[in-house]
Amino acid sequence: MSKAHIVGWSHSPFGKLEHEGTEELMAAVVGPALAHAGVEATDLDGIFVGVMNNGFSKQDFQGALVAMGDERLAHVPAMRTENACATGSAALYAAMDFIEAGRGRVALVVGAEKMTATPTAEVGDILLGASYRKEEAEIDGGFAGLFGRIAQNYFQRYGERSEELAMIAAKNHSNGMANPFAHMRKDFGFEFCNTVSDKNPYVARPLRRTDCSLVSDGAAAIVLADEEVAANLSRAIAFRARSHANDIMAMSRRDVLAFEGARRAWAGAFEQSGLSLDDLSFVETHDCFTIAELIEYEAMGLAAPGEGHRVVREGTATREGKLPINLSGGLKSKGHPIGATGVSMHIMAAMQLAGEAGDMQLPGAEIGGVFNMGGAAVANYVSILERLK
């Protein structure tokens, strides 16, 4: 079996963009991704698109939209995946399966979402599609309210940790200053993030605005190739491991503070790779809300349950720390256009490993981890990446 390698990529800015929809967003990254990889449109054997949609646009059949931006792709087989906030990683893993099954040698993965043209109240309702509506649709504050409830439960069980959440927000905004693609390139500092104010109100207690990722537009694209093709190209980022684990969707039927699916995905990736946390140079993790990043520290094994605050207080996850987390600024600073997020996270890691991360670059980065999740840790994807060439 020939493994799939990342050989090129392209990333739009994230933010409130002028592009009319996902068709235009995807068109903006496809050509640059092919050029970065050093392949032609005629080399593609498959196209894998990640767009959640779920009401952001009446136009669906998103897989077919890529060829609308480049008619050379009209006859390349294309498909679309959806897996809530892990939609982009689902598309990436499907493309890898396609190559590793021998069905194709070169594949294009595109993730995109156009969110800012939708009224805020509708955005909240659309995102609730990633929850179990039978039980969770009436939670005040939409998806932020759902994670607000998780934060409340965490505080009740383990103690009040609002300061640590503010430290996570401040860390990620500081890191995002170096990311040219980030939606919010502003270093707010701990005091602002930790203080409830007119500019930083509660969104869903105890979560403040600075605890919540941004509603963004954006697109990202990755080119994958099998080993033989990759050997003749400029770069090759390999997957030492990739793991996907799910958990039950309804929060009422599990310990939602355990992030058990995330823990299983990390454990599976470490078993597959023969590595441990100590071997990783950095991690890009899914900080849709700061409470999510805090619990993810525990799920990946950086701290015992309820002890994630120690990671924050000891500076473990800072740029200068033992395991830098979200050097890109994370979803908190970079933004969270749903379908693009998983693809973007893998690009951020690949850029570090290829030495192409510019001002974000971590010297000596050798092995990177990526954790992308859909819903409240329902669909969980962990990749461990390393540079081959």
pTM value is: 0.98
Q: Which residues contact 34 (CB under 8 A, 6 or more apart)?
A: 8, 40, 41, 44, 108, 223
73 belongs to a structural domain:
yes
**pLDDT tens, N- to C-terminus, the chain (389 residues):** 899 999 999 999 999 999 999 999 999 999 999 999 999 999 999 999 999 999 999 999 999 999 999 999 999 999 999 999 999 999 999 999 999 999 999 999 999 999 999 999 899 999 999 999 999 988 888 889 999 999 999 999 999 999 999 999 999 999 999 999 999 999 999 999 999 999 999 999 999 999 999 999 999 999 999 999 999 999 999 999 999 999 999 999 999 999 999 999 999 999 999 999 999 999 999 999 999 999 999 999 999 999 999 999 999 999 999 999 999 999 999 999 999 999 999 999 999 999 999 999 999 999 999 999 999 999 999 999 999 99
- Gap between the Cα atoms of 98 and 206, Å rounded: 43
The answer to whether residues 223 and 346 belong to one domain is no
- Gap between the Cα atoms of 45 and 203, Å rounded: 45
313 belongs to a structural domain:
yes
The answer to whether residues 104 and 20 belong to one domain is yes
- The answer to whether residues 233 and 39 touch, using CB atoms and an 8 Å cutoff, is yes
- The answer to whether residues 382 and 272 touch, using CB atoms and an 8 Å cutoff, is no
Q: Among residues 230, 253, 277, which one ends one of the domains?
A: 230
Q: In CATH, what number is assigned to the domain containing residue 104?
A: 3.40.47.10
Domain that holds residue 243: 238-382
Angle at 242 between CA 275 and CA 25, to 5 degrees: 130
